[in-house]
A and B are shown apart, each in its own frame.
Chain A
Amino acid sequence: MRKALGHLIGSGPDGIQECDTHTCNHCNRVFEIKPYESPSICRVCMSPICNSTFCHSGCRPYEREVERIERAARTEQARQEALRSYGL
Protein backbone atom coordinates (compact mmCIF):
# COMPACT_ATOMS: atom_id res chain seq x y z
CA MET A 1 0.00 0.00 0.00
CA ARG A 2 1.51 3.29 -1.06
CA LYS A 3 1.92 6.02 1.54
CA ALA A 4 -0.50 8.90 1.09
CA LEU A 5 0.88 12.17 -0.15
CA GLY A 6 -1.68 14.39 1.53
CA HIS A 7 -4.39 14.57 4.11
CA LEU A 8 -7.82 16.14 4.23
CA ILE A 9 -9.48 16.76 7.59
CA GLY A 10 -12.69 18.51 8.45
CA SER A 11 -14.73 19.21 11.54
CA GLY A 12 -18.41 19.89 11.37
CA PRO A 13 -21.87 18.81 12.52
CA ASP A 14 -21.03 15.15 11.85
CA GLY A 15 -17.86 15.29 13.94
CA ILE A 16 -14.38 14.99 12.55
CA GLN A 17 -13.95 13.48 9.12
CA GLU A 18 -10.63 12.82 7.45
CA CYS A 19 -9.12 10.96 4.58
CA ASP A 20 -5.84 10.52 2.80
CA THR A 21 -5.28 12.14 -0.55
CA HIS A 22 -2.90 11.84 -3.46
CA THR A 23 -1.98 14.40 -6.07
CA CYS A 24 -2.10 13.14 -9.64
CA ASN A 25 1.33 13.39 -11.22
CA HIS A 26 -0.24 13.95 -14.66
CA CYS A 27 -2.94 16.56 -14.06
CA ASN A 28 -1.88 17.84 -10.58
CA ARG A 29 -5.38 17.25 -9.23
CA VAL A 30 -5.96 16.24 -5.60
CA PHE A 31 -8.05 13.09 -5.23
CA GLU A 32 -9.23 11.23 -2.17
CA ILE A 33 -8.56 7.57 -1.52
CA LYS A 34 -10.39 5.15 0.73
CA PRO A 35 -8.66 3.51 3.70
CA TYR A 36 -6.32 0.70 2.66
CA GLU A 37 -6.85 1.63 -0.99
CA SER A 38 -3.90 2.24 -3.27
CA PRO A 39 -4.10 4.77 -6.11
CA SER A 40 -3.49 3.95 -9.73
CA ILE A 41 0.18 4.14 -10.60
CA CYS A 42 1.60 5.24 -13.94
CA ARG A 43 4.10 2.56 -14.96
CA VAL A 44 6.29 5.07 -16.78
CA CYS A 45 6.81 7.76 -14.16
CA MET A 46 5.91 5.39 -11.28
CA SER A 47 3.78 8.05 -9.58
CA PRO A 48 0.17 8.09 -8.40
CA ILE A 49 -2.38 9.20 -10.97
CA CYS A 50 -6.11 9.85 -10.77
CA ASN A 51 -8.74 7.73 -12.53
CA SER A 52 -9.46 10.09 -15.39
CA THR A 53 -9.22 8.73 -18.92
CA PHE A 54 -6.81 11.50 -19.89
CA CYS A 55 -4.31 10.60 -17.20
CA HIS A 56 -4.47 6.91 -18.08
CA SER A 57 -3.98 7.49 -21.80
CA GLY A 58 -0.25 8.20 -21.58
CA CYS A 59 2.49 9.49 -19.33
CA ARG A 60 2.35 13.29 -19.22
CA PRO A 61 3.99 14.48 -16.00
CA TYR A 62 2.55 17.78 -14.90
CA GLU A 63 6.04 19.22 -14.41
CA ARG A 64 6.53 18.95 -18.19
CA GLU A 65 3.22 20.72 -18.80
CA VAL A 66 4.29 23.57 -16.52
CA GLU A 67 7.59 23.85 -18.40
CA ARG A 68 5.69 23.95 -21.70
CA ILE A 69 3.41 26.72 -20.42
CA GLU A 70 6.38 28.74 -19.19
CA ARG A 71 8.27 28.24 -22.44
CA ALA A 72 5.25 29.32 -24.49
CA ALA A 73 4.85 32.44 -22.33
CA ARG A 74 8.52 33.35 -22.73
CA THR A 75 8.29 32.86 -26.49
CA GLU A 76 5.19 35.02 -26.70
CA GLN A 77 6.80 37.71 -24.55
CA ALA A 78 9.89 37.73 -26.75
CA ARG A 79 7.67 38.00 -29.83
CA GLN A 80 5.79 40.95 -28.35
CA GLU A 81 9.05 42.70 -27.47
CA ALA A 82 10.38 42.15 -30.95
CA LEU A 83 7.23 43.60 -32.49
CA ARG A 84 7.45 46.59 -30.20
CA SER A 85 11.06 47.16 -31.23
CA TYR A 86 9.94 47.15 -34.87
CA GLY A 87 7.36 49.78 -34.05
CA LEU A 88 4.44 47.40 -34.64
Chain B
Amino acid sequence: MAKFHIDNLLASAPAQQNLTANYKWMTAVSCSSTLALRRIYVYQLGFGANGTPNSTDCAIEFDLSKFTAAGTGVASTPTGLDTDAGTSNSVTIGSINYTADGTTTANSAIFQKSINQRATWQWTAYSDAARLVGPATNLAGLALRARSPTYASTVDADLYFEE
Protein backbone atom coordinates (compact mmCIF):
# COMPACT_ATOMS: atom_id res chain seq x y z
CA MET B 1 0.00 0.00 0.00
CA ALA B 2 1.26 3.47 -0.80
CA LYS B 3 1.69 6.06 1.92
CA PHE B 4 0.70 9.69 1.58
CA HIS B 5 0.75 12.85 3.63
CA ILE B 6 -1.51 15.89 3.64
CA ASP B 7 -1.64 18.95 5.86
CA ASN B 8 -3.58 22.18 5.83
CA LEU B 9 -0.66 24.17 4.47
CA LEU B 10 -0.23 21.92 1.44
CA ALA B 11 -1.49 24.26 -1.26
CA SER B 12 -0.14 27.31 -3.05
CA ALA B 13 -2.83 29.40 -1.36
CA PRO B 14 -3.82 27.44 1.75
CA ALA B 15 -6.22 30.10 3.08
CA GLN B 16 -6.14 28.87 6.66
CA GLN B 17 -9.30 29.46 8.63
CA ASN B 18 -9.45 30.94 12.13
CA LEU B 19 -11.07 28.72 14.72
CA THR B 20 -14.48 29.34 16.22
CA ALA B 21 -16.55 27.66 18.91
CA ASN B 22 -17.95 25.28 16.29
CA TYR B 23 -15.89 22.61 14.60
CA LYS B 24 -14.20 23.63 11.36
CA TRP B 25 -12.71 21.13 8.95
CA MET B 26 -8.96 21.57 8.64
CA THR B 27 -7.83 18.58 6.60
CA ALA B 28 -10.01 15.94 4.98
CA VAL B 29 -9.45 12.92 2.75
CA SER B 30 -12.20 11.24 0.76
CA CYS B 31 -12.94 8.92 -2.11
CA SER B 32 -14.01 10.13 -5.52
CA SER B 33 -16.19 8.34 -8.02
CA THR B 34 -14.13 9.71 -10.91
CA LEU B 35 -11.16 7.61 -9.77
CA ALA B 36 -10.87 4.11 -8.31
CA LEU B 37 -12.46 3.78 -4.88
CA ARG B 38 -10.00 2.71 -2.22
CA ARG B 39 -10.21 2.50 1.52
CA ILE B 40 -8.30 5.14 3.41
CA TYR B 41 -6.14 3.96 6.31
CA VAL B 42 -4.98 6.81 8.53
CA TYR B 43 -1.91 5.84 10.53
CA GLN B 44 -0.63 9.15 11.89
CA LEU B 45 -2.08 12.49 12.95
CA GLY B 46 -0.31 15.68 13.96
CA PHE B 47 -1.97 18.83 15.25
CA GLY B 48 -1.27 22.04 17.12
CA ALA B 49 -1.65 25.79 16.96
CA ASN B 50 0.37 27.77 14.44
CA GLY B 51 -1.07 31.23 14.96
CA THR B 52 -0.73 33.97 17.57
CA PRO B 53 -1.72 32.46 20.93
CA ASN B 54 -4.52 33.85 23.02
CA SER B 55 -3.39 36.13 25.88
CA THR B 56 -4.72 33.64 28.45
CA ASP B 57 -4.14 29.91 28.19
CA CYS B 58 -6.95 28.05 26.56
CA ALA B 59 -7.78 24.73 24.96
CA ILE B 60 -8.25 23.62 21.40
CA GLU B 61 -10.26 20.51 20.58
CA PHE B 62 -9.35 18.30 17.65
CA ASP B 63 -11.20 15.31 16.35
CA LEU B 64 -11.22 12.97 13.39
CA SER B 65 -14.75 12.30 12.20
CA LYS B 66 -16.36 10.41 9.37
CA PHE B 67 -18.30 12.24 6.72
CA THR B 68 -20.60 11.25 3.90
CA ALA B 69 -20.56 14.37 1.76
CA ALA B 70 -17.69 16.78 1.20
CA GLY B 71 -18.00 20.51 1.74
CA THR B 72 -16.10 23.39 0.19
CA GLY B 73 -12.37 23.48 0.76
CA VAL B 74 -9.08 24.22 -0.93
CA ALA B 75 -7.98 21.34 -3.15
CA SER B 76 -4.74 19.77 -1.97
CA THR B 77 -2.89 16.89 -3.60
CA PRO B 78 -1.51 14.47 -1.00
CA THR B 79 2.25 13.96 -1.18
CA GLY B 80 3.57 10.46 -1.85
CA LEU B 81 5.93 9.20 0.86
CA ASP B 82 7.37 5.95 -0.43
CA THR B 83 8.39 4.08 -3.55
CA ASP B 84 4.95 2.46 -3.79
CA ALA B 85 3.54 5.92 -4.29
CA GLY B 86 6.30 6.93 -6.66
CA THR B 87 5.34 9.96 -8.63
CA SER B 88 1.72 8.92 -8.84
CA ASN B 89 -0.95 10.95 -7.15
CA SER B 90 -3.22 9.26 -4.69
CA VAL B 91 -6.70 8.34 -5.81
CA THR B 92 -7.87 9.70 -2.48
CA ILE B 93 -9.00 13.31 -2.74
CA GLY B 94 -7.49 15.80 -0.30
CA SER B 95 -9.06 19.11 0.72
CA ILE B 96 -8.05 21.59 3.36
CA ASN B 97 -9.23 24.67 5.23
CA TYR B 98 -12.91 24.32 4.50
CA THR B 99 -15.04 27.42 4.23
CA ALA B 100 -18.20 25.31 4.25
CA ASP B 101 -18.10 22.02 6.12
CA GLY B 102 -19.54 18.86 4.63
CA THR B 103 -21.96 16.39 6.16
CA THR B 104 -20.37 14.81 9.22
CA THR B 105 -21.89 11.61 10.51
CA ALA B 106 -23.27 12.41 13.98
CA ASN B 107 -21.26 11.06 16.93
CA SER B 108 -18.74 9.47 14.61
CA ALA B 109 -15.50 10.86 16.00
CA ILE B 110 -12.93 8.06 16.11
CA PHE B 111 -10.20 10.26 17.54
CA GLN B 112 -10.63 13.21 19.88
CA LYS B 113 -8.12 15.24 21.88
CA SER B 114 -8.24 18.55 23.73
CA ILE B 115 -4.87 20.27 23.87
CA ASN B 116 -3.35 23.42 25.29
CA GLN B 117 -2.96 26.22 22.75
CA ARG B 118 0.80 26.07 23.34
CA ALA B 119 1.05 22.32 22.76
CA THR B 120 1.60 20.14 19.73
CA TRP B 121 0.48 16.52 19.67
CA GLN B 122 1.01 13.52 17.46
CA TRP B 123 -0.70 10.13 17.34
CA THR B 124 0.88 7.18 15.56
CA ALA B 125 -0.45 3.70 14.88
CA TYR B 126 2.16 1.02 15.52
CA SER B 127 0.40 -1.69 13.58
CA ASP B 128 -2.08 -2.13 10.76
CA ALA B 129 -4.76 -3.08 13.28
CA ALA B 130 -4.60 0.39 14.84
CA ARG B 131 -5.18 2.37 11.66
CA LEU B 132 -8.33 4.45 11.31
CA VAL B 133 -10.39 3.36 8.33
CA GLY B 134 -12.40 5.36 5.83
CA PRO B 135 -14.66 3.20 3.62
CA ALA B 136 -14.23 3.01 -0.14
CA THR B 137 -17.47 4.85 -0.78
CA ASN B 138 -17.95 7.76 -3.13
CA LEU B 139 -17.54 11.13 -1.38
CA ALA B 140 -17.12 9.52 2.06
CA GLY B 141 -13.99 10.07 4.08
CA LEU B 142 -12.36 11.31 7.27
CA ALA B 143 -12.03 14.93 8.37
CA LEU B 144 -9.61 16.30 10.95
CA ARG B 145 -11.52 19.13 12.62
CA ALA B 146 -10.76 21.74 15.27
CA ARG B 147 -12.65 24.17 17.44
CA SER B 148 -12.00 26.56 20.31
CA PRO B 149 -14.25 29.14 21.93
CA THR B 150 -11.19 31.17 22.99
CA TYR B 151 -8.29 30.55 20.61
CA ALA B 152 -9.27 32.45 17.48
CA SER B 153 -6.31 31.91 15.19
CA THR B 154 -5.11 29.13 12.92
CA VAL B 155 -3.99 25.56 13.58
CA ASP B 156 -1.86 23.02 11.83
CA ALA B 157 -3.53 19.68 11.12
CA ASP B 158 -1.66 16.97 9.29
CA LEU B 159 -2.65 13.48 8.39
CA TYR B 160 -0.74 10.48 7.07
CA PHE B 161 -2.62 7.71 5.32
CA GLU B 162 -2.26 4.60 3.20
CA GLU B 163 -4.45 3.50 0.34
Question: Chain A residues with Cβ under 8 A from B121's Cβ?
Answer: 8-10
Q: Is the CB of A5 within 8 A of B130?
A: yes
Q: How many of B's residues come within 8 Å of A, CB to CB?
A: 29
Majority DSSP secondary structure for residues of A touching B: mixed
B127 close to chain A: CB less than 8 A: yes
B120's nearest neighbour on chain A, judged by CB, is: A11
Our pick among A10, A23, A73 for the contact of B119 (Cβ within 8 Å) is A10
Q: Is the CB of B110 within 8 A of A27?
A: yes
Q: Mark B87-130, 1 if CB is under 8 A from A, else 0.
A: 00000000000000000000001110101101111111111011
Q: Is the CB of B135 within 8 A of A7?
A: no
Q: Is the CB of B39 within 8 A of A66?
A: yes
Q: Is the CB of A7 within 8 A of B137?
A: no
Q: How many of A's residues come within 8 Å of B, CB to CB?
A: 28
Question: Chain B residues with Cβ under 8 A from A14's Cβ?
Answer: 116
Our pick among B109, B110, B118, B135 for the contact of A12 (Cβ within 8 Å) is B118
Q: Mark A65-88, 1 if CB is under 8 A from B, else 0.
A: 010011001000100000000000
Q: Is the CB of B137 within 8 A of A8?
A: no
- Please give the distance in Å from A51's CB to the nearest CB on chain B: 15
Q: Is the CB of A30 within 8 A of B135?
A: no
A30's nearest neighbour on chain B, judged by CB, is: B111
Q: Which B residues are closer than 8 A to A by beta carbons?
A: 37, 39, 57, 109-111, 113, 115-116, 118-127, 129-133, 135-138, 140
- In the A-B complex, the 3 residue pairs with the smallest Cβ-Cβ separation, listed nearest first, are A12-B119, A5-B130, A10-B121
* Besides A7-B126, A12-B116, A66-B39, 19 other A-B contacts (C-beta < 8 A): A3-B126, A6-B125, A6-B126, A7-B123, A7-B124, A8-B121, A8-B122, A10-B122, A12-B119, A12-B120, A13-B118, A29-B110, A30-B111, A30-B123, A30-B132, A47-B129, A70-B37, A70-B137, A77-B138
Q: Which A residues are closer than 8 A to B by beta carbons?
A: 3-14, 21-23, 25, 27-30, 47, 62-63, 66, 69-70, 73, 77
15 contacts between A and B (CB under 8 A): A5-B127, A6-B126, A10-B119, A11-B119, A12-B119, A12-B120, A13-B119, A23-B130, A27-B110, A29-B111, A30-B110, A30-B123, A66-B133, A69-B135, A70-B137
